[in-house]
Structure formats: structure tokens, C-alpha cells
Structure 1
Amino acid sequence: MTDKIEKLFKFISNNRKYNKALQEKYYRSIILPYKNEKEKIISLLYHIANTQSQPKIDKLSEFYRSIITEDNSLKSFQEFIEKINPNGKSNFESVYKGMLNQKGWGPKTSALISKSIFHLHNGKYSENLKIWNDVPKLIDENDSFYLPVDAVIIAIFKKLDNSIKWDFNKINKTLETKYKGQQIEVWDDLWFWGFITQNGSGDNRAFEWNENKYWVLKESDKDKMKIEEIKNKCQEFLEIFN
């Protein structure tokens, strides 16, 4: 399994531009319609929370009321940390742990918020997507960064070794034995390749190019040549599991 994990990491490291282009469009739709910092971070929070298959509406409602109605402007990353994780350090682990303590938020969505804030401020996306000016551009070696694990990623790890009971914690702990900080962020691309190469649900997923899934990604490039290019890349991805 270790050999295949290394091959997966090499593949996603060498093909980052595909998911990067999709993510850029996704973030633009979330951030650019809004003018101030508070509106932008609230928009991001709503979009991330809505990625849950069964969102806890009542609990999320309490969270939104607290963050929207309280007299704070959230004009800085530090202010946001103080809101969700009082006395927490100004880093990405504080975001993850702070969000995990909020009503209606779980490990995956908390990790997604941490990852998204990093993406928007790491200098690799459009400058006008930044919300604040005090977000670290790099993930410090003493910071902790978490892969947003969902059913797609769990299915991939089951494909690698179905004798292990994979979940959010098990997958992150497995990756952390070799990969740290910035490298964990690279692993986030695994979802893109996994999503468009899985057919079915639960334990009955077939691993194959799934063009229908590619088309339902609103931000995916619909150019015929680009689709063919990504299809060929997916074959490379799938060969790793053989």
C-alpha cells in the first residue's frame, strides 16, 4: 500500500493545474460577489456547510445567528480565530479545531474551511480572492493541516487496502506519518481525481472514468479537448490501483 500511496502523491503533485483551475472558478463564485470581509467569510461558511450530505439545520442556524448578529466585523484572520477559537494561535490548526467546536460542523467541513482559507491567501490564486491580509501564506512545520475526508476519499483508501476500517482520523493519521503541512494540502487534489473516476455509491463503487460526474461539476472545463486530456489523465490515475 505504501508504494501506491507514493505513486498517488506523485501523480497529484504533477497534475495540480486541473483541480487548481476548477477551484479558482469555485472560489470566485463564492468571494467576488461580496465587498467586505465579513460578507466574504460568511459566504464561504455557507458554501462549505452545504457540502454536507445531511446538514444539521437547527445547529447550523444557531451558528449562523451567532456569527452574523454579533457585533463584530471579522476584519482580520485573527478576529475570526478569536471568534471560533478564543486564545487560539493564528494558524490553520486553530481554524480546524475552532470550527470543529461550532454547532453543525464536523471534521470534513472544518478541514474544508481551513483548506479554503489557506488557498485564498497562499498567493497561488487571484489576488482579489483574498479576504484578509494577516493569513499565513505557508503552513508552518509546527502547524497541523487536515485532509477533508469524505466518502470519495474513503473509497480510494478502501481500494488500496480494504482490510482497514478507514475514516477521517485513520486516513489523516496514515498520511501524517510521511507527509506534513504543505504536502497534506497537495493531497486535497485526491478528491477531484477520485470523484470523476468512481461510479456507484457505498461499497459498490466501480473505479472508471465517469464523464457524467465531470459534467456535473459546475466549474469544470467543458472544452472537448480538455475533457479528453483529463480522461487520459484519469487512466493514468486508475492504473496506480492495478
Structure 2
Amino acid sequence: MLQRPKPISDLFAFLSQHHNINIEVQHGFITESLSPSRLEDRAILLMQKVLQTQSQPKLDPICNFLKEVTAAGAHRSFKAFRDFATESGKYELIDGLRRQDGWGPKTAALFVRNLGYIELEPTLKNKFWPDTSVLAGDNLRLPVDRVITAVFEALAPRLPEGPSATIAGINEYLHDRLCYRDQELLIWDDLWFWGFITQKNAKGGPREHGWNEAKYWAVPHAPKDALSIGRIKATSDKFLELVS
């Protein structure tokens, strides 16, 4: 029987218990992306929103990709998009998407993660590709960035055989070695929310871990009433106990 390290199991239990908080944030982001009146425009906007999360998006390659998607009609349905991105099944979905102009491992994982949220929520799926299907078939990976690598760096002393703090290392650890799959990886994605609001940049050193009110207020669609903020701050203290 697979034995997962206790720090990992405890952290996953925390994320599962409080998953509803980040679901609301992500639903807000995705709903905003699905605002255009035409389905095809919603698909393009969702792609653009993801690509714009890059620290330095390369506009020319992104332009080339979006023009190719549009010309191929790959923005009209999930099947059309999947066939386009994977070269009709030559690659897995994330692997094929990360090879496209303007994309990379993190943005590919982030876009497919968004499709997972859409698939789970009927109000979102009704506005998007009706045939969206990524939650079965081992399509998801964790969109790792500096926030998530900082969490694993903090956990490292308690994980003797833990991962290298890279997108490949963390995904190999959670997916390949610890066998987290599908909707479980949507829960692991909550690491970004809790990590982001509890990290502070430190010049010339590792990130400091502690409640960061300014970063919380920078998260679109996170509740901004005092009661909700107080509850989330208190919950973040529990998160910090688990990772630092």
C-alpha cells in the first residue's frame, strides 16, 4: 500500500477541507473569462488570460498560436482544440499544448486545470465547450510557479526524499511517486492561493512565510468583507503551521 509522507497527507487534508475557498476564487476568474457573447471568443479569452499570467509573455508567438487556433477552428469545441494541441493524439494534452507557440509547462497545466473547473461546474460548462472532458484520463498536472516551489522549499526539511523544487520535480513527486490524480490535483492547485497570501519577498534570500494582507487584497475574486478576511487569515495560520 502506498505510504504518503505525513506532512504531505496533512497538507492535502487541509487543502481538501478548505477547497471551497479557492473554488470561489477560481470560478470568479473563469466566469470573467467567459464573458464574451460568442463561444469562440470565450475560448480565446480564456487562453489569453492564462497566457498573460506569464511574467514576460511573448506576444509574437502568442499571436501566431491564436491565429492558428482560429484558422483551424480549434476554438469551437474541446475535441477540435484537443486534436489541434495534441496533433490528433500524437501527444498527451498538456504535453502537446506546452509545445505550442507562446506556451510552456506551467501555462499548459493552468489552462487544462481551468478546463477541469469548467467541467465540474454546470454554470461554467453551460457557457463553454459542451464536450469539455479532462478530469478522467490523467490529463491534469500542477501548474507550478515560484509560489508553489517556495512551499516545497519550506517543507524540504520534513521531506527527506522530497522533490526538487521545480515544475518537473514537484509534478513527478505528487503525480508519479505519490499517485495523486485528476480531481486530487485540482485540490493540490490550492497551494498557490494559500502560498501566495502567506509569502513575502525577501531581498537576497528565501521568501518569508507569514500572512500578507497586501497580497490577499491583490487576489481578484477573493472575498473582501471583514468577516471573510478574518476567517481566511485564521485559516492561513493553520496552513503556515503545516508548511513552516
Give the TM-score normalised by the residue count of structure 2.
0.88
**Which of structure 1's runs of 4+ aligned residues deviate more than 6 A?**
none
CA apart distance, 1:156: 0.4
8 A contact 2:149–2:165 mirrored in 1: yes
Q: RMSD in angstroms over aligned alpha carbons?
A: 2.1
Change (3 A) 1:208 1:167: same
Q: What is the rounded CA distance, in whole Å, between the counterparts of 2:8 and 2:145 in structure 1? A: 17
Aligned residue in 2 for 1:12: 15
Change (3 A) 1:21 1:125: farther
8 A contact 2:197–2:213 mirrored in 1: yes
Q: What is the rounded CA distance, in whole Å, between the counterparts of 1:125 and 1:191 in structure 2? A: 24
Q: Within the alignment, does 1:84 sit opposite 2:80 as a pair?
A: no
Q: Within the alignment, does 1:135 sit opposite 2:132 as a pair?
A: yes
CA apart distance, 1:129: 5.4
Q: Matched residue of 2:92: which SS?
A: helix
Q: 2:98 aligns with which of 97, 100, 112?
A: 100
Q: 1:148 corresponds to which letter in structure 2?
A: P
Summarize the alignment of residues 201-212 of structure 1 with structure 2, pairs less than 5 Å apart.
203-212=205-214
Aligned residue in 2 for 1:30: 33
Summarize the alignment of residues 85-234 of structure 1 with structure 2, pairs less than 5 Å apart.
85-88=86-89, 94-122=92-120, 124=121, 126-127=123-124, 130-136=127-133, 139-140=135-136, 142-161=137-156, 165-176=164-175, 177-178=177-178, 179-200=180-201, 203-234=205-236
More deviation, 196-205/231-240: 196-205
CA apart distance, 1:73: 6.2
Aligned residue in 2 for 1:3: 6
CA apart distance, 1:45: 0.6
Summarize the alignment of residues 70-81 of structure 1 with structure 2, pairs less than 5 Å apart.
70=71, 72=73, 74-81=75-82
Change (3 A) 1:218 1:185: closer
Percent identical residues? 33
8 A contact 2:147–2:195 mirrored in 1: yes
Q: What is the rounded CA distance, in whole Å, between the counterparts of 1:125 and 1:237 in structure 2? A: 30
Give the TM-score normalised by the residue count of structure 1.
0.89
8 A contact 1:28–1:129 mirrored in 2: no
Q: What is the rounded CA distance, in whole Å, between the counterparts of 1:210 and 1:73 in structure 2? A: 41
